[in-house]
Amino acid sequence: MPESQSAPKATRAAKTRRAPEAEGAATAENAPQGGSEAVSASDPASAAPKKRAAAKGAAAAKKSAASKKPAPGKEQSAPAKNQAASESAARAKRAAKSDAAAPKRAAKPRGAAPAKQAAAPKVGRGAGGKPESRAAMVRRARRINRELAEVYPYAHPELDFRNPYELLLATVLSAQTTDLRVNQTTPGLFAAYPTPEDLAAANPEEVEAIIRPTGFFRAKAKSIMGIAVALRDEFGGEVPGRLEDLVKLPGVGRKTANVVLGNAFGVPGITVDTHFGRLVRRFKWTEQEDPVKVEAEICAIFPKSEWTMLSHRVVFHGRRICHSRKPACGACPIAPLCPSYGEGETDPEKARKLLKYEKGGFPGQRLSPPPDYPGLPAPPLGGA
């Protein structure tokens, strides 16, 4: 064979031998060092399949991870849809409420004050100190009134009088004294001045001398003479039968006017004197001290038809049993209904000794009591 032809063949063989060696060197340079996974540079045949397997495994793992991970656009689509649905439902609910409330807002006049919430029922203390609602207090109060009606069926005004004029003057004179002392004094006054015209023309000093036993006689003489003048000049010598006219008279307030209206004209009214005010507070019917406020609150508890007799019964009970300083709790017929039981003597024997007037076996306050009065008439002034 000629040299010119063999040379190229030798050159190509040399190049073929060098190519695998170079490939193996490159593979050995990039392969991991150490362990069973290290690829020998001297084994190019085994390195290639392993490289292809590793690349194929990495691609498979990457594809698997990509399939599990949701696409960025789809990842937020479900929460976004849920949120949108929630917001839409909330808007629909608000719109429904707004539509339902619209007629009420339209009916409410512009500038009207906001409606107040209904106050909770007031709770006080009843018998035995137990909590008591307003309704329970009213029931208890009316029961006390019925009980007192049985105890004092003869209750009456404890001033002697024969007409509205005498009752009006006697009531004015009863301030700061007892009805008994007034009843002992008025016979002489009415005998001397039987009409308003007579009293209006009287000598003030003579009037003062007659009413001196009632106390504060100068001020009282001025009042009753002023009443007589007003009756003569403004009412034709007659006592008016209206509260608004009575309270215009000198020395006449709501208490006096209600006494006259209830007992001389048959017009119901509450008489808030010292005894009445003390007992209604002990009974926990009211906490008011002002007589006008006491009257208003008690009137709200009882029917109008009971007002006048309720006043008499409560005053009778206050004078005979439920005294100011030493209440006879042990002898009280309404003790089980009274929240203030125990303020006075609770021993029955000792309590009975505290009873006054007919309850204690003594004369009453009237010189001329009603026929059904069970006690004794009061003695005249200076009598035994």
**Active site residues per annotation:** 255, 273
Find the helix or strand (DSSP H, E) in which 348 lies: helix 348-352
Q: What burial class does residue 66 get, using C-beta atoms within 10 Å of its C-beta: 0-12 exposed, 13-18 middle, 19+ buried?
A: exposed
Q: d(Cα 50, Cα 55) in Å, to the nearest integer?
A: 9
**Interatomic CA distance for residues 172 and 260, integer angstroms:** 11
What is the spatial distance between Cα 256 and Cα 171, in angstroms, rounded to a whole number? 6
Which of 129, 79, 98, 111 has the alpha carbon at shortest distance from 338? 129
Q: CA triplet 248, 253, 258: central angle to 5 degrees?
A: 105
Crossing angle for the helix pair 179-192 and 204-211, nearest 10 degrees?
140
